[in-house]
Structure 1
Amino acid sequence: MDTKAFGLFLPPFHDPSVSPHASLHRDIEVCGVADDLGFDEIWLGEHHSSGWSTLSSPEMLMAALARETRRIRFATGVIPLPYHHPLHVAERIVLLDHLSAGRAILGVGTGTYVHDMEMIGVDPASVRDHFRAALGTVQALLNGETVNTTTPWFSVKKAVLQLQPLRGPGAIETVVASSLSPAGIELLTDTATTPTVHVAPPWGSIRPGMDPDPVGALIERVESYRNKSAGGTRIRCNVFVHVADSPAAGVEELLEGFSALRRGLYRNTLGMPIPDSPVAHRKTLQNLVDTGGFIVGDAATCAERIRDLMDRVGDPVSLNFFVPRWVSHRATLDQLTTIAHEIVPTLVGGFEGTAESIRLTSEEAARQLKSRTELVGNGGDK
């Protein structure tokens, strides 16, 4: 993978007023368009409750998508390890690796929805320790080891993968959802995994003014992680980008969908103490734009701010554009097309050749015009 890469992060959010079947097929269309547009990877999440988060098995969707796509890599974003037996997690990601011709990325985390945990008897107080134990077992299996271990949450006895990763043991990349806290950094360095992190924290918990510099805070955590890791480790940043005529116009385009998700999912369903007023939602969204947690503006402005973010994070970096679909499905596809056609080429030098050719041709045309003018002035052919 190049030092810079670009992908999409699709949370499993689906408006419960829209047909769940239709929502799923819209996800499929987004993934197909992402492949056609040349994005490098796509992250698909997993939840089991709330009515809004209805994608329960990202691996199944990815297996279907593998037959319909050519090059894009598929990342589980994320599999909550405390919800599954680690042997089964390892087996499913290896099967996906084969079905996708080596395009699978294993993204893992602890899980976030308490009701997800309660339905299957997982103690929310245990998920961090449970996660760490499960991660060690999954990694050992993916590395081709035979594993014997007993924990308070699971046991494995002479466990071995019958099917190895397509390109051999250890070939599947493991990525951990992390806030890059001190404990998170310790986990990443101990397990030799790489992080995926949001530029802004989960938007249901954001309050205006709570984080005056989300990008600066992220860069501090990234630097701390890289100082303690082996160096040269890839950072995946999930960032929301919306292209509009101006930041103010973008806020107006986003406000209805942004407010509906905060109200319907985070406040009314998950019980977060979010003020439910148009003023509160607008102030929160505006604050995210003003502080750089969200990147909103015309294509040139967005490209400039994304370049600054990537430069500050440093190579290697993958930027995954967060796609919560706060605008209509058609507008979402248009946004992805604009990002792929107008912003990503700017970030990778895709316009430099044409710009240089225009400059050289213009200079030559000016030189030729001057030469012809001088010739005519000296009595030459007209």
Structure 2
Amino acid sequence: MTTTTPPLRLGVLLGSERAPGHTSADVFARTLALAKAAENLALDDLWVTEHHFLDTSVNPSALTLAAFLLGHTQHLRVGTAVTLLPLHPPVHIAEQAALLDHLSGGRFALGVGRGQPAAEYEVIGRGIEHWQHGLGEALDIVHNAWNGTAQSQTNLHAFREVPVVPEPRPGTRPPIHVAASSPATIETAATRGLPLLLFYDKNAEAKADMVALHAKLAAAAGHRADGYEHAFALYAHVTDTPEQAHALMRARAQRLLEGDHQLQLLTSNDPPSTDPAVDDALIDAVTERLLVTQPVGDAATCAQRLADHITISGCTTVLCHVETDPSTALHNLRRLATDVFPAVRAQLSTTAGAPQ
């Protein structure tokens, strides 16, 4: 069976990141400005995240922000990266996704994942069992709901048959991407014939291995082995000097290791533990790993890293995190769109079989 490689899609990922001294209003004003710039620069995609109880990432609803940005754009595809599906009633997610599909004329993509076993599963109220076992079941409920009705009788979801409206647009459904970082979640996606959404913690070779496992599992489940619109996210920042690139990635490494610890999900009466201090050696090691894998540096370096990542991983949809330095995110986005993305497309156009 012959399959077609999906077209290359170059876009941005917005994490609604708050810089020191900025208010939530500042963050959302910047988010809108970045979305409008992405539209004007003719990017393909814009993806938004969902985080809870973090002072540095201030968007608790990827669906709500996606709806807002769809209303302020005309051409961009806007997706969630991700909606924390096991955290929410899946029928309600199906309703909202179908609604956005209609209102946007098919410009909405539903990225889903389960996130971390953190406090949102306790506070918002669905419990750790939904994090442990709920993603696949919730995916099935969403997909089946788009047939017009939904019902379930399981330990996690028990409800009578109900009509689900609106239905997706005739002849189509919103695309679904499944965030994966483990073989089990890859299997969840592959056995349902759904593409992967991969993140910063895996290099290009590791992503290629994950795509290969997906192909094997998808074929074994009776789905096509390839031709999926697999996606990945990377930090992307055009800098003027190597020192600037190093400073950006060291700050990001420190934040990854220290700054954004989510509240642990309490499964007993014990208080959450306190993470030990992270030493400079570990921060330096993570910094160096980021510097050799992420498209951060001068424009030529960024273009080469992106092209290599696309070619090696087999993924064709790229989510560039442009808020590594929130204060310069708009300038960074413009440089990526004008100096880097055209070079990536040109380089890939000379590679046989590369996505265009």
Distance 2:190 2:252 in 1: 38
Percent same amino acid at aligned positions?
Answer: 25
Greater RCO (CA < 8 Å, at least 6 residues apart): 2
Look up the match of 1:218.
Answer: 207
Shift of 1:55: 0.9
**Which residue identity does 1:47 align to in structure 2?**
H
Look up the match of 2:341.
Answer: 344
Look up the match of 1:376.
Answer: none
1:241 aligns with 2:236: yes
Distance 1:277 1:129, change over 3 A: closer
Q: 1:178 aligns with which of 152, 171, 180?
A: 180
Q: Is the 8 A contact 1:12 1:47 kept in 2?
A: no
Look up the match of 2:267.
Answer: none
> Of the two, which has the highest radius of gyration?
1
Q: Is the 8 A contact 2:151 2:160 kept in 1?
A: yes
Distance 1:281 1:274, change over 3 A: farther
**Which residue identity does 2:317 align to in structure 1?**
S
Q: Is the 8 A contact 1:246 1:296 kept in 2?
A: no
Distance 2:47 2:131 in 1: 22
Shift of 1:287: 2.7
Shift of 1:103: 0.6
Q: Deviations over 1:329-374 (max 9, x none)?
A: 2x2111111111111111222999xxxxxxxxxxxxxxxxxxxxxx
Shift of 1:16: 6.6
**Which residue identity does 2:196 align to in structure 1?**
P
**Which residue identity does 1:141 align to in structure 2?**
A
Q: 1:8 aligns with which of 12, 19, 22?
A: 12
Distance 2:305 2:128 in 1: 38
* Partner SS, residue 191 of structure 1: coil
Look up the match of 1:26.
Answer: 30
* Partner SS, residue 75 of structure 1: strand
Distance 1:216 1:333, change over 3 A: same
Q: Is the 8 A contact 2:231 2:318 kept in 1?
A: yes
Shift of 1:227: 3.3
Q: Deviations over 1:87-141 (max 9, x none)?
A: 1111111111222221111111113251111113332244232221111010111
Distance 1:321 1:32 in 2: 16
* Partner SS, residue 191 of structure 2: helix
| Correspondence list, 1:254-269, <5 A | 254-256=249-251, 259-260=254-255, 262-266=257-261
Distance 1:8 1:183, change over 3 A: same
* Partner SS, residue 260 of structure 2: helix
Shift of 1:246: 4.4
Q: Deviations over 1:290-345 (max 9, x none)?
A: 3x2x222211122122111111123x61111123x23142x211111111111111
1:60 aligns with 2:60: no
1:327 aligns with 2:325: yes
**Which residue identity does 2:235 align to in structure 1?**
F
Q: Deviations over 1:189-243 (max 9, x none)?
A: 2211111001425xxxxxxxxxxxx322222222222233311112101111222
Look up the match of 1:149.
Answer: 152
Structure 1 runs not aligned, ≥5 long: 202-213, 353-382
Shift of 1:54: 2.2
Distance 1:120 1:63 in 2: 22
Look up the match of 1:132.
Answer: 136
Distance 1:271 1:26 in 2: 35
Shift of 1:17: 4.0
**Which residue identity does 1:190 align to in structure 2?**
T
Shift of 1:15: 4.1
**Which residue identity does 1:289 align to in structure 2?**
L
1:159 aligns with 2:162: yes
Look up the match of 1:377.
Answer: none
Alpha-carbon RMSD across the aligned residues, in angstroms, is: 2.7
Distance 1:311 1:93, change over 3 A: same
Distance 1:199 1:222, change over 3 A: farther
Distance 1:84 1:249, change over 3 A: closer
* Partner SS, residue 348 of structure 1: helix
TM-score (structure 2 length as normaliser): 0.84
Distance 1:268 1:184 in 2: 23
Structure 2 runs not aligned, ≥5 long: 219-223, 265-271, 350-356
Look up the match of 1:208.
Answer: none
Q: Is the 8 A contact 2:118 2:262 kept in 1?
A: no
Q: Is the 8 A contact 1:199 1:215 kept in 2?
A: no
Distance 1:198 1:253, change over 3 A: closer
Distance 1:80 1:226, change over 3 A: same
| Correspondence list, 1:89-128, <5 A | 89-112=93-116, 114-128=118-132
Shift of 1:145: 4.0
Distance 1:216 1:260, change over 3 A: closer
Shift of 1:259: 3.2
